[in-house]
Amino acid sequence: MNDIVTIKGLKYGLQLTFAKGASFDDVQANLLNKLESGDSFFIRGTTVFVPKGYFAEDQNEALRRMFHRHGMLFSTELKRPNLAPPSCDTVKTPAQKSKAKVEDAQKMMVINRTIRGGQEVKANCSVLICGNVNPGAQIIAGGSIDIRGTCRGFVHAGAFGDKTACVVADRLMPAQIRIADLIARAPDEDVKASQAERAMIRNNMIIFEPVAR
């Protein structure tokens, strides 16, 4: 018998594909049946991928709720789910950016390692990095950024437009720094930061000022 729903295991979760001509109600009933049968496929915390645009938005929403009730994540995009704590979802699309809540900026993501060239940290909330941010690395945060180490990479605080966001580092010498919609870049000649500094917006300009740590 040809199943209405086919499940394929992927590195980051389960990919669902559907038999041709199966209606949404059939699919939903079939999935619910599978979920309630306690199939070992459906482990809590697993991400389930459904091809984008296969169902209408409200139907996807119904599926999302159904999977959430069973402790699973639902996604229409095939990519690795964010490893950050669930309270700090990654910035996905510009459309979602506007939805980001103000409270997110109050939360904080803690990263206990050095961010090396080519690595990227994105968070809706504030970010605390216990380590260095190396040249070529990117940190983008909805809130503020605190670096307990040397910052030589690219940092963007207040990515949703929060002008009160700031960037603090033991040695703040980023290649480029953005706060809200303002951009500043490092001077062309090498400047060594000798003490902890904070970058913030004042009079519509990004300024650096020393801080005590």
Partner 1 sequence: MSQILVITSGKGGVGKTTTTANIGVGLAMRGHKVALIDTDTGLRNLDLLLGLENRILYDLVDVTSGRVAYKKALVRHKKFENLYLLPTSQVKDKSAVNPEQLVTLCAEMKKEFDFIIIDCPAGIEQGFKTAIAAADTAIVVTMPEISAVRDADKIIGELGRADKENVKLIVNRIRPQMVEKGDMLDMGDIDEILSVACIGQVPDDENVVVATNRGEPVITMNGSTAGQAYKNIVARICGENVPFLKPQKEGFFARLKKLFGLL
Question: Using CB under 8 A as the criterion, which residues of the chain lie in contact with partner 1 when the complex forms?
Answer: 113-114, 116-119, 132, 134-136, 150, 152
**Closest distance to partner 1 from the beta carbon of 7 (Å):** 25
Which residue, 92, 118, 186, is CA-closest to 169?
186
Query: By C-beta, is 132 or 144 nearer to partner 1?
Result: 132
**Closest distance to partner 1 from the beta carbon of 28 (Å):** 37
Query: By C-beta, is 155 or 166 nearer to partner 1?
Result: 155
Backbone angles phi, psi at 200, to 5 degrees: -150, 170
**Closest distance to partner 1 from the beta carbon of 88 (Å):** 20
- Name residue 202's beta-bridge partners: 205
* Distinct helix (H) and strand (E) counts, the chain: 3, 15
Query: By C-beta, is 81 or 135 nearer to partner 1?
Result: 135
Which residue, 203, 205, 200, 80, is CA-closest to 143?
200
Query: By C-beta, is 152 or 165 nearer to partner 1?
Result: 152
Kindly state the tokens that stand for 193. 């930061």
* Interatomic CA distance for residues 50 and 17, integer angstroms: 7
Q: How many CB atoms lie within 10 A of CB 202?
A: 9
Kindly state the tokens that stand for 8. 């394929």
**Closest distance to partner 1 from the beta carbon of 130 (Å):** 13
Q: What single-letter amino acid sits at 157?
A: A
**Closest distance to partner 1 from the beta carbon of 72 (Å):** 25
**Closest distance to partner 1 from the beta carbon of 136 (Å):** 6
DSSP secondary structure string for all residues of 139-165: EEESS-EEEEEEE-SEEEESTTS-TT-
Query: By C-beta, is 16 or 133 nearer to partner 1?
Result: 133
Query: By C-beta, is 81 or 136 nearer to partner 1?
Result: 136
* Interatomic CA distance for residues 134 and 117, integer angstroms: 6
